[in-house]
Amino acid sequence: DAGVIQSPRHEVTEMGQEVTLRCKPISGHDYLFWYRQTMMRGLELLIYFNNNVPIDDSGMPEDRFSAKMPNASFSTLKIQPSEPRDSAVYFCASSLGRAGAKGEQYFGPGTRLTVT
């Protein structure tokens, strides 16, 4: 298994543009997490899904952010419109069952987003 796959790996966009980040979880995993990593705030959970259903989106910073999981093998995180303060590394992670609560979350390589 290639592990969690994220695309693109790097994204540079101008303020005001729409950005879509993509994630493919590990096959068979039923939980999917989106995190944001910044120097100031470290790693923060934005949202997580269970069986494609959003369970907890309390970490989504504002309405400009939205996430979907149309099927078990694909999820997107969209920012519209993007702002310079959204520049960060966005990680996707997946886990199987409740193992995620025991720390067994498998992270993707991340997408480095730069908004100019």
Partner 1 sequence: AQRVTQPEKLLSVFKGAPVELKCNYSYSGSPELFWYVQYSRQRLQLLLRHISRESIKGFTADLNKGETSFHLKKPFAQEEDSAMYYCALSGRPTPLRLVFGAGTILRVKS
Q: Which is nearer to partner 1, 5 or 13 (CB)?
A: 5
Stretch that binds partner 1, among 16-24, 60-68, 69-77, 104-112 (CB under 8 A): 104-112
Number of residues that bind partner 1 (CB under 8 A): 29
The DSSP bridge partners found for residue 35 are 45, 91
Specify the residue for token string 């400009």: 64
Under the binding rule (CB under 8 A), the answer on residue 98 touching partner 1 is yes
Q: Which of 14, 18, 44, 83 binds partner 1 (CB under 8 A)?
A: 44
What b/e sequence results for 67-84 when a residue is b if at least 16 CB atoms lie within 10 Å of its CB, and e otherwise? bebeebbebebebeebee
